[in-house]
Amino acid sequence: MSKIHWLRWKFSDPIHRKFVAERLIALKTALDAQIRRGTSESSLRLATWNLMHFGDGGGYDRTLESMLYIAEIIDHFDLVAVQEVNRDLTKLEALIDDHLGPEWDYLVTDTTGGRPSEAGPGNNERLAFLYRKAKVQFCKEAGEIVLPGGQQIAAPGEAGTTEKVQFARTPFAVAFRAGWLKFKLCTVHIFYGNGEEGMTQRRAEIERIAQFLADRQADEAEAMVKRATQRGWNDASEAGWDSNFILLGDFNIISPEHETMQALLKAGFHVPTQLEKTNLGSTHHYDQIAIKAGHPHLKVLSSGVFDMLTHVYRDEDADQYVDVAKPPILAKDSKGNPRPRGKQVEYFRQYYRKHQMSDHKLLWCELCVDYAEPYLKSIAEANAP
């Protein structure tokens, strides 16, 4: 469970402390109803969440209050892919050490781009996996994916030229095990871009990573079967069942019918979450979880989107923040000029709350990882007289 003792010791205003406690109760109640009660403890609760500029400071600096909310949400899952982690890891480390606790661990990439002042198209972002150690095992294999020669991405260059590039933000693939299921999990934050050229590069990134992983999955399955045959397994074909690839993250996909989604589907991935809209306005299907399964019993039992702003930082909470909590960023604009009360309410609803949480909702699915019954049945039936 997340560590909430900070609420008593770190909130000096008793009125806002009471308010935060009430919001945490509402958040816990909603998460229990939507996630825990409808899923099994023997399955894997997998999620992906773009945590807008997490650790970026300034207007994106999360308060202790929002860290409590973020930790509570994450703690209702077993394995969470996080996009938009900033170069500064202070907030991520605090999230694990101070709020999720020793039950959790994390893996994180280096930043894209060059020096801190040169963010480049990757915007100095990291990709991360947070996982519950009692449920998920890191299988000691991790890597950032670089495309081989000839498979690079066409991107607009200077003076109307085209240049070959790698991903704007390098995809991150890690091997995990949960229950009976071994799998490679790859998270992405696909290039967004502007106009026709930006869309072309976005589609190309999705095509390249999906096809790269589809090819890798087929190659690994074939190699597993070959090794099992050489070792004299009774049924060597089952060795390929451990070749399972899950691709998830922020794909910046417009809709299930859009070319961005088709670029993912044509590589043969099953996308059980393709109908879920994940931006705050519920207009786009940016985030997705896609599966290329080797194991015949790997299946998605349930899935959904968790909209945190229906439980915390709600529209009706604006008065609480303007009149009671009074975060300094509401009172003055970026130039230091005072904001009238009406403008403070407007800023809270349009910017403050999504900067404290995210402009993306969390997308999740429940995976079956207990295959003991079908395994035993297959043996019993095969040896029946």
Per-residue model confidence (pLDDT) at position 250: 98
Say which CATH number the domain at 267 has: 3.60.10.10
- Find the radius of gyration of the CA atoms of the chain: 22
Domain membership of residue 327 (yes or no) is: no
Domain membership of residue 344 (yes or no) is: no
Domain membership of residue 149 (yes or no) is: yes
Per-residue model confidence (pLDDT) at position 113: 65
Per-residue model confidence (pLDDT) at position 236: 78
Per-residue model confidence (pLDDT) at position 161: 57
Strands (E), 190-286: 245-250
Domain membership of residue 219 (yes or no) is: yes
Per-residue model confidence (pLDDT) at position 151: 73
Domain membership of residue 137 (yes or no) is: yes
- Show the low-confidence residues of the chain (pLDDT under 70): 113-122, 150, 154-162, 383-385
Owning domain of residue 216:
6-312+357-382
Number of domains forming the structure of the chain: 1
Per-residue model confidence (pLDDT) at position 379: 83
Strands 162-165 and 79-86: unpaired
Domain membership of residue 343 (yes or no) is: no
For residue 202, the surrounding DSSP H or E stretch is helix 195-230
Read out DSSP for 270-307? B-TTTT---BTTS----EEEEEE-SSTT--EEEEEEE-
Domain membership of residue 326 (yes or no) is: no
Per-residue model confidence (pLDDT) at position 150: 67
Q: Using CA atoms, how far apart are residues 14 and 95, in angstroms rounded to an integer?
A: 24
In this predicted model, what pLDDT tens digit does every residue of 311-366 receive, in sequence order?
999 999 999 999 999 999 999 998 899 999 999 999 999 999 999 999 999 999 99
Please indicate, yes or no, whether the overall pTM of this predicted structure exceeds 0.85.
yes
Per-residue model confidence (pLDDT) at position 149: 75
Domain membership of residue 194 (yes or no) is: yes
